[in-house]
Structure 1
Amino acid sequence: MDMDGDWPLPRLNAPFRINRRPPGSSLSKASSIASTFSSLATPVVAEAVQRARELSTQSDVEGFHQLRVAFRKLRALYWAYSPYLGEEATAHATGEFKRLAAVAGGTRDWDIAGDLLISAQQSGAPIELLVAAAREKRAQAALHTQTMIKSDAVEAFLNDVLLRAQTTLQSRCDDLPIRAFAEKRVQLAQRALQKRSLRVARSETAHEEGLHDVRKAGKKLRYLLEFFQPVIKGGRGRTIRELTSVQNKLGQFNDIAASENLIRSASFNEVPPEVVQHSLRWLEEQKCRRMRAASRRVRNIVG
């Protein structure tokens, strides 16, 4: 897939400067909406560029994971600033962030599935052939990610969308203070999470889709709180910790559900069908257990 279908990629005249400061480290309540975006986006862009560069020489688990996280954070940030960035510009940028996160996540998904299959094997499941096949799938996914994500193209694309966003914000909200805006966007994200959590809590039976929606809404809220913590009332440090705890529980369920879907949709020509089915039954049992645990955690929060 061509990354520059919507965005013309400029030639870089100078190397990208890696900003090691954490997002929000230079924020203050007196900052403008426009200047705050730059302070928040620049280090996340730098992280994505650095991780994309590293993919050309290595394929470690953490690298793929952190690259996906960087693109997810950028999606959350662009959502936060979308009232001033505009619907079309936000859709263009976040659509590409989503695609790049999915490409980076393909390898990560096979890492998780492989670890779960090893756990199943250790519990006595006769799935050695499937474990080996999953390793091969992981290697293929890593090669695909490295082929699809070229650091120069990613760097040029991110520089371009960042420059476009900064130019738009400077023309529309350069003199508007950040605090009230940040609190409003956080409140909207919080309401979305509460609405989705209530839907799960009121349901008599747990549903994968509902839990997945809660997980996505919680992740967006957590990212926004981490971004805006220096300028919103109360700092919300405790809320961030609580969200992280909930996300861990929901993430455990999601790992199982995603791995089950991944194995179901993959083809394993060298693996007998009964071996694949055995692994799927094991994953289904684990998924049901973790789904119940995740649902209880969501209900506790609502309560």
Structure 2
Amino acid sequence: MDMDDDWRLPRPIALFKIDHRPPGLSLLKTGSVASTFASLVTPVVAETVQKARELSANGDAEHFHQLRVAFRKLRALYWAYSPYLEKEATAQAIEGFKHLAAVAGGTRDWDIAGDLLKKAQDSDASVEMLVTAAREKRAQAVMHSQTMIRSDDVEAFLNDVLLRAQTTLQSRCDDLPIRPFARSRVLLAQRALRKRSRRATRGEAIHEEDLHDVRKAGKKLRYLLEFFQPIIKGGRSRILRELTSVQNELGQFNDIVASANLIRSASFDAVPPEVVQKSLQWLEEQKCLRMRAASRRVRAIAS
């Protein structure tokens, strides 16, 4: 799908009731699979709609970041409940979440690239031209995101897909207890992370693609732990802390890789090619350093 296309979000057939109050602990522990979905998803939906509204007047980087995170959390929650959801409706919802996260992420990506280029400028003053150009690209990304992410359309889309999900869950698992279900989905996500970590470390060298797969699996597990931690007996606080630390390391590595790819794919008419090349060379050096650190963390997970 071309992210620059005018991607239309469907209008809702009815409204998904958004309760802005946080879910009570007793409900999360004793509720059904269906009722707990509504309790978990509504705060995320409320935050997503609010962030989308703020984008129209504010191009702050943190708003774009939080919006992208909110859509990623929705994807993780849909994966958790996918055994009881309709495949076609779930695929449509996840496609919408991915698209909107990518649009919101365009601005965030240029923010990250710009910050890295400023560090590269410390070793080569000529990189300042690319820093300025990246700032212009960032401004273009803000305008694009503000045009594509209309709060009314986002709210309508979320109302539609979440109402469908809730209706399906009520008909299929309204009487199933949440605790064993939550425990099984978290365990499955943990196994997937361990499997990808072992796959990444089975050879002497770890590849970028494998680290990216580990990072995605780690994100899914982290979000599920945040959702289900009040439900699962014994908690997972230590795992969540360790996972957050690993994700931070992998995230820094991914920022460098994504920024290099972003710069390679962009055109800079006012920047000499040799300046762009110097910046890419600096990013490559930083990538090697971060990759070693990230690889050590992944090997620790695998073992």
Contact 2:14–2:159, Cα closer than 8 Å, also in 1: no
Flag the 1:3–1:46 CA change in 2: closer, same or farther, 3 A: farther
**1: CA distance, partners of 2:14 / 2:93:** 19
Alignment of 1:120-159 (within 5 A): 120-159=120-159
In the alignment, what sits opposite 2:92?
A: 92
TM-score, with normalisation over the residues of structure 2? Answer: 0.94
In the alignment, what sits opposite 2:74?
A: 74
Q: Please tell me the residue identity of whatever aligns with 1:129.
A: M
Residue range with higher mean Cα deviation, 123-132 or 142-151: 123-132
Flag the 1:18–1:272 CA change in 2: closer, same or farther, 3 A: farther
Residue range with higher mean Cα deviation, 183-192 or 51-60: 183-192
Flag the 1:232–1:162 CA change in 2: closer, same or farther, 3 A: same
Flag the 1:235–1:11 CA change in 2: closer, same or farther, 3 A: closer
DSSP 3-state at the match of 1:80: helix
1:31 aligns with 2:31: yes
1:202 aligns with 2:202: yes
Q: Please tell me the residue identity of whatever aligns with 1:284.
A: E
In the alignment, what sits opposite 1:221?
A: 221
1:172 aligns with 2:169: no
DSSP 3-state at the match of 1:116: helix
DSSP 3-state at the match of 2:30: coil
Flag the 1:143–1:264 CA change in 2: closer, same or farther, 3 A: same
DSSP 3-state at the match of 1:29: helix
Contact 1:218–1:247, Cα closer than 8 Å, also in 2: yes
Flag the 1:10–1:171 CA change in 2: closer, same or farther, 3 A: closer
In the alignment, what sits opposite 1:235?
A: 235
DSSP 3-state at the match of 1:132: helix
Contact 1:192–1:217, Cα closer than 8 Å, also in 2: yes
Residue range with higher mean Cα deviation, 142-151 or 198-207: 198-207
Q: Please tell me the residue identity of whatever aligns with 2:245.
A: S
In the alignment, what sits opposite 2:101?
A: 101
Flag the 1:74–1:109 CA change in 2: closer, same or farther, 3 A: same
Contact 2:193–2:217, Cα closer than 8 Å, also in 1: yes
Flag the 1:100–1:25 CA change in 2: closer, same or farther, 3 A: farther
Measure how far apart 1:11 and its partner are.
Answer: 8.0
In the alignment, what sits opposite 1:55?
A: 55
Flag the 1:10–1:257 CA change in 2: closer, same or farther, 3 A: same
Measure how far apart 1:125 and its partner are.
Answer: 4.6
**2: CA distance, partners of 1:24 / 1:284:** 48
Measure how far apart 1:30 and its partner are.
Answer: 1.6
**2: CA distance, partners of 1:60 / 1:25:** 34
Contact 1:27–1:231, Cα closer than 8 Å, also in 2: no
In the alignment, what sits opposite 1:113?
A: 113
CA deviations 1:271-293 (Å, max 9, x no partner) are 10000000000000000110111
Q: Please tell me the residue identity of whatever aligns with 2:231.
A: V
TM-score, with normalisation over the residues of structure 1? Answer: 0.94
Return 5+ residue gaps in structure 1 as ranges. Answer: none
Measure how far apart 1:66 and its partner are.
Answer: 0.2
Measure how far apart 1:8 and its partner are.
Answer: 3.5
In the alignment, what sits opposite 1:19?
A: 20
**2: CA distance, partners of 1:24 / 1:275:** 55
DSSP 3-state at the match of 2:29: coil
Measure how far apart 1:24 and its partner are.
Answer: 7.0
Measure how far apart 1:230 and its partner are.
Answer: 1.1
**2: CA distance, partners of 1:301 / 1:116:** 28
Return 5+ residue gaps in structure 2 as ranges. Answer: none
Flag the 1:174–1:18 CA change in 2: closer, same or farther, 3 A: closer
DSSP 3-state at the match of 2:233: coil
DSSP 3-state at the match of 2:90: helix
Q: Please tell me the residue identity of whatever aligns with 1:84.
A: Y
**1: CA distance, partners of 2:26 / 2:102:** 31
**2: CA distance, partners of 1:295 / 1:24:** 40
Identity of aligned residues (%): 75
In the alignment, what sits opposite 1:244?
A: 244
Please provide the CA RMSD for this pair. Answer: 1.7
Q: Please tell me the residue identity of whatever aligns with 2:47.
A: E
**2: CA distance, partners of 1:63 / 1:76:** 20
